Amino acid sequence: MTGAKNNILEAVGGTPIVKLQKLARHVAADIYVKCEYLNPGGSMKDRVAGNIVADAERRGLLGPGGTIVEATSGNTGMGLALVAALRGYSCVFVMPDKMSPEKVAGLRAFGARVVICPTAVEPEDPRSYYQTAKRIVAETPGAYYANQYHNPANPEAHYTSTAPEIWAQTAGEVDVFVAGMGTGGTISGCGRFFKEKKPGFRLVGVDPIGSLYYEYVKTGRMTRPFAYYVEGIGEDFLPSTMNLKIVDEIVRVDDKECFLMTRELVRQEGLFVGGSSGAAVAGAIKYAEASKRKENILVLLPDGAQKYLSKIFDDKWMRENGFLDEVDPLGTVAELLSRKKQRPLVTAKKGESVRDVIATMRDTSVSQMPVLDGEGGRLCGIVAEVDLLDFLVKGEAGLDSPIDLLVESDYAMVTPATRVHLLRNIFSDAQIVVVETGDAIVGVITKIDLIEFLAERKT
């Protein structure tokens, strides 16, 4: 019939771009959003799924009777399930246990098998969702592992579909592209296209506090990731689909600001979106507040609100997790730092001798300290008493050796606005917490600092 698509896959893409009306009035830039949540499978991953399957078929890796296996936070699974339904494949999806029940139910609605794995294990752990997916592929005849974290067809989908569509819709008038970063497919694929088209184009990645991207870009170190609630963005390893080199700026956001912004996007702008959309818009607004430039910023909204009704849009869940409290009983890291005995921050410098660092530790009674590089005083890691001890016991090098070899990454980064409530979880993974604003270190917090702060409040 005239006007009809042949099948629902032909309806992927062609999503609208809309100007924010209320939430970004205070910034000089105009902020626009690309409504990828309006795709048939509910997210921008429909484009990725289509490209991954087409690529696998072309290369003879997936054929009739085949099974698509994927480790997914939900949306890639949904896209793949949609393609599989039309092309007659079976699907097995492996998901981390923090994902919303609506996502699991959605995948099961397509007849897919869903396997849930613990979130709180290392990516190399056989129970992790990445490793479980690999095992299922090995055990299933005719299985194809979509592997969105390492499949070039993922960023390619954004390079050949999302970005050219944005370019055509806006006649190239976009100056800045903002996206949350999970596999990195969106930012790397779109980013490559935009940068080829327009010199000076800026790419801004948004990273949740707890993920390791931000620190990795700033210091080249893999810090201790820790758990956070926003779904679909941030990683605890580096996927090969992520090209961090083309990202000009990374903005950090915490769960609370992501979720409150998500609720405002629905209530004030009528954009029925999920948590990573709130994260991306919160990040874009922070970027625009800092840059103060009059320019066109385009933010990609990955998925819709439906899947998060039992979380972000449920007041009970929000309150239980401390995201709705106007007054947080434990306060923020800024308060903890100001209550901490007013000792100046003690740091070491890259290149400093082990002897000098030991002397500083003795004179100031600290057991761990941040190490800054020479130029600019940027953080490059921490040095801890226990590492100095190991070094001296092994006796392989002398006291005049530089401490550089002992600098390690067993720390987590937070900002002064991070809630103290979150530090408990962070300390189960990291030895020390470094507090940073912009590029400056404003303090360090150890377990004993937290204990003292909490004990003082009780007295």
Which residues are registered as beta bridge partners of 369? 383
Nearest residue to 369 (alpha-carbon basis) of 349, 351, 392: 349
Q: 136 with 92: CB under 8 angstroms? A: yes
Indicate the residue whose CB is closest to ligand PMP. 232
Handedness of CA 40, 42, 48, 49 (dihedral sign): negative
**CA within 13 Å, CB half, 251:** 25
Question: Among residues 66 and 274, whose Cβ is nearest to ligand PMP?
Answer: 274
In the set 175, 215, 254, 303, which binds ligand PMP (CB under 6 A)?
303
Alpha-carbon distance of 204 to 77, in angstroms, equals 26
Name the token pair of 209. 């506090």
CB of 21 to ligand PMP, least distance (A): 23
Shortest distance in whole angstroms from residue 430 CB to ligand PMP: 24
Min dist. Cβ of residue 230 to ligand PMP (A): 8
DSSP SS3 for 346: coil
Q: Residue 189 in contact with residue 158, Cβ under 8 Å? A: yes
Tokens linked to 292 = 């103060």
Q: Which stretch binds ligand PMP (CB under 6 A): 170-178, 210-218, 230-238, 289-297?
A: 230-238
Residue 45 catalytic? yes
Cα 72 from Cα 49, distance rounded (Å): 11
Residue 207 pairs in a beta bridge with 252
Closer by beta carbon to ligand PMP, 160 or else 401:
160
Q: Which of 19, 22, 45, 292 is catalytic?
A: 45
Between 184 and 443, CB nearer to ligand PMP: 184
Beta strand spans in 210-319 (E)? 249-253, 296-301
The DSSP secondary structure of 308-334, one letter per residue, reads GTTTTT-HHHHHHTTSS-SS-TT-BHH
Interface residues for ligand PMP in 271-300 (CB under 6 A)?
A: 274, 276
Q: Rounded to the nearest whole angstrom, what is the least distance from the CB of residue 2 to ligand PMP in the complex?
A: 36
Size of the residue set binding ligand PMP (CB under 6 A)? 16
Region 45-74 residues binding ligand PMP, contact defined as CB under 6 A? 73
Residue 386: how many CA atoms within 13 Å on its side-chain side?
5
Strand ranges, E, within 29-101 = 30-35, 67-71, 90-96
Q: How far is the CB of 59 from ligand PMP (least distance, A)?
A: 22
Determine, following the binding rule CB under 6 A, whether residue 75 of this chain makes contact with ligand PMP: yes
In the window 166-195, what residues touch ligand PMP (CB under 6 A)? 180-186
- The amino acid occupying position 154 is N
CB 424 within 8 A of CB 330: no
Residues 92, 98, 99, 104: what is their CA dihedral angle, to the nearest 10 degrees? Answer: 50
Of residues 36 and 436, the one with the C-beta less far from ligand PMP: 36
Render 410-443 in DSSP notation, one character per residue. Answer: -EEEE-TTSBGGGHHHHHHH-SEEEEEETTEEEE
**What is the closest distance, in whole angstroms, from the C-beta atom of residue 251 to ligand PMP in the complex?**
15
Reading the block at residue 293, the tokens are 């430039």
Which residue lies nearer to ligand PMP by CB, 231 or 387? 231
What binding mask, one character per residue, do residues 117-156 give for ligand PMP by CB under 6 A, x or -? ----------------------------------------
Taking the least distance from each CB to ligand PMP, the nearer of 306 and 446 is 306
Q: How far is the CB of 260 from ligand PMP (least distance, A)?
A: 17
- Write down the least CB distance from residue 81 to ligand PMP, Å: 14
Nearer to ligand PMP, 233 or 423 (CB): 233
Angle, in degrees to the nearest 10, between helices 185-197 and 163-170? 50
Catalytic center residues = 45
| Contact footprint for ligand PMP (CB under 6 A) | 73, 75, 180-186, 231-233, 274, 276, 302-303
